[in-house]
């Protein structure tokens, strides 16, 4: 294209123009094929060009594309909320639909604060979070995000919500091994709560598996059990940010199920619409809704396009497609297969320091020296070249890393559509 009026992520870069997508592949206007091994931004969970979803969009568009949520509800939104309540474990029975993951985490934060207000506790307004996390780009979501790179320009506008270290075993903040660390990084939360005062804290938010800010950093077995116990003991809600991990990405509908941990509120996004339409949600438990039902009876948030029928119809079709094709139960074995291949690569290339992740959310961390784990010195040094090189050869992978704890972004996510076959 000779002239473009579109603001793109890198203003001076040339982006290939994608013409169409089929399954795990994208095709640009020059006919070049790309294997979408990152599902875009870990979003295209059922692959591209799925007929059933296109049909569902068409059917809904023929009926009605937009109704305003303060005036009407729609069959698509009602059915989706019911289906999600059935698919999610426990009593996460209430869906508040929004349009992006950032809106979902901000909505979750607001619901947590409102919950305490409805109970007459007005001081609980802070949300604690971890360093090396990403909860979204809007100011509330960015306040919760411990991604130093994305916070930097807006520091004066942000709250200091990130307060504890992540469970980053490859570079343990305490220099301990997972076998004998005593889960210090989880217990650190209680130390911080004591300092800030539980009376001031509404909730703690965390990504079950850390995505963009770390590259599939997966906690050891008891981490979330301890975190939830600390939250319960201190009357602090636990918000699971499952924007990336939810909808089957790690092998269960919600990643938290794998540790038997029941969040009070869950943020969903990305895989919910699988890239076919913008849709996300704050999923809320009965217990958290109860004082709101018996109190003000209204959640003080919402967007013009919240619960948009077109987006809800897409998400409903995505969930039905996932169930009909038995996609989630196969994620674990596909993930193990792919991870073993990556571990083989690691034994060949010493710059691959760590291979990690859960289900089909896998990460590689690159190091200059795998014995000392010395990171590459320039920001995005190797990673950016590797991602570009892979794209030139028709393979799409996703950059990760928060610019903290020394890694400076030298990690990538490998997270293909959940529908990928072993041969692909």
What residues line the site for ligand PLP (CB under 6 A)? 41, 100-102, 105, 134-137, 207, 211-212, 241, 243-244, 269
Nearest partner of 214 among 131, 104, 330, 320, judged by Cα? 131
97: Cα within 13 Å, side-chain hemisphere = 31
Query: For ligand PLP, which is the closer residue by CB, 118 or 365?
Result: 365
Task: Show the tokens assigned to 171.
Answer: 């570079």
Shortest distance in whole angstroms from residue 415 CB to ligand PLP: 11
Query: For ligand PLP, which is the closer residue by CB, 181 or 418?
Result: 418
Shortest distance in whole angstroms from residue 182 CB to ligand PLP: 27
Shortest distance in whole angstroms from residue 137 CB to ligand PLP: 6
Query: For ligand PLP, which is the closer residue by CB, 117 or 145?
Result: 145
Give the Å distances, CA to CA, from 40 to 47, 120, 124, 262, 359: 10, 44, 37, 29, 17
DSSP letter string over 123-150?
S--EEEEESS----SSHHHHHH---HHH
Residue 33 near residue 17, CB atoms below 8 Å: no
Shortest distance in whole angstroms from residue 299 CB to ligand PLP: 19
Give the Å distances, CA to CA, from 3 to 17, 18, 27, 167: 13, 17, 21, 46
Query: For ligand PLP, which is the closer residue by CB, 23 or 101?
Result: 101
Shortest distance in whole angstroms from residue 99 CB to ligand PLP: 8
Shortest distance in whole angstroms from residue 138 CB to ligand PLP: 7
Query: For ligand PLP, which is the closer residue by CB, 325 or 384?
Result: 384
Query: For ligand PLP, which is the closer residue by CB, 23 or 167?
Result: 167
Shortest distance in whole angstroms from residue 161 CB to ligand PLP: 14
Shortest distance in whole angstroms from residue 59 CB to ligand PLP: 25
Torsion of CA 80, 86, 87, 88, to 10 degrees: 100
Query: For ligand PLP, which is the closer residue by CB, 249 or 339?
Result: 249
CA 247 to chain centre: 10
Q: Which residue's CB comes closest to ligand PLP?
A: 101
Residue 382 near residue 376, CB atoms below 8 Å: yes
Residue 253 near residue 122, CB atoms below 8 Å: no
Residue 133 near residue 307, CB atoms below 8 Å: no
Q: Beta-strand (E) ranges in 207-343?
A: 237-241, 265-268, 280-284
Question: For the chain, first and last CA: distance in Å?
Answer: 31
Query: For ligand PLP, which is the closer residue by CB, 181 or 387?
Result: 387
């Amino acid at each position: 294209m000779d002239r473009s009026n579109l603001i793109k992520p890198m203003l001076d870069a040339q982006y290939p123009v994608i013409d169409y997508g089929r399954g795990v592949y994208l095709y640009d206007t020059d006919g070049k094929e790309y294997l979408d091994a990152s599902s875009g931004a870990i979003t295209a969970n059922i692959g591209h060009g799925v007929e059933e979803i296109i049909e569902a969009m068409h059917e809904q568009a023929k009926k009605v594309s937009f109704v305003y949520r303060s005036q009407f509800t729609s069959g698509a939104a009602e059915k989706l909320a019911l289906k999600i309540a059935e698919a999610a474990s426990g009593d996460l029975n209430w869906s508040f639909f929004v349009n992006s993951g950032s809106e979902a985490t901000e909505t979750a934060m607001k619901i947590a604060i409102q919950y305490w207000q409805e109970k007459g506790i007005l001081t609980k307004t802070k949300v604690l979070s971890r360093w090396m996390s990403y909860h979204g780009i809007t100011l509330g979501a960015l306040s919760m995000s411990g991604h130093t790179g994305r916070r930097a320009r807006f520091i004066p506008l942000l709250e200091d919500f990130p307060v504890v270290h992540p469970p980053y075993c490859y570079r343990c903040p305490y220099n301990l091994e997972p076998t004998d660390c005593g889960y210090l990084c989880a217990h650190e939360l209680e130390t911080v709560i004591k300092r800030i005062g539980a009376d001031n804290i509404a909730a703690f938010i965390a990504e079950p598996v850390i995505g963009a800010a770390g590259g599939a950093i997966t906690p050891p077995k008891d981490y979330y059990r301890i975190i939830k116990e600390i939250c319960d003991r201190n009357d602090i809600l636990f918000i699971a940010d499952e924007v990336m991990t939810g909808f089957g990405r790690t092998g269960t509908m919600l990643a938290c199920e794998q540790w038997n941990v029941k969040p009070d509120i869950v943020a969903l996004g990305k895989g919910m619409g699988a890239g076919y339409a913008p849709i996300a949600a704050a999923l809320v438990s009965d217990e958290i809704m109860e004082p709101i039902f018996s109190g003000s009876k209204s959640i003080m948030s919402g967007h013009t396009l919240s619960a948009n029928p077109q987006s809800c119809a897409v998400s409903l079709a995505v969930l039905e497609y996932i169930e009909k094709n038995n996609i989630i139960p196969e994620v674990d074995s596909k993930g193990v297969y792919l991870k073993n291949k990556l571990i083989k690569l690691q034994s060949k290339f010493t710059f691959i320091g760590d291979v990690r992740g859960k289900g089909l959310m896998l990460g590689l961390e690159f190091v200059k020296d795998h014995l000392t784990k010395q990171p590459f010195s320039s920001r995005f040094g190797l990673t950016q070249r590797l991602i570009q090189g892979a794209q030139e050869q028709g393979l799409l992978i996703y950059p990760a890393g928060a610019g903290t704890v020394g890694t400076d972004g030298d990690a990538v996510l490998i997270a293909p559509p959940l529908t990928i076959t072993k041969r692909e």
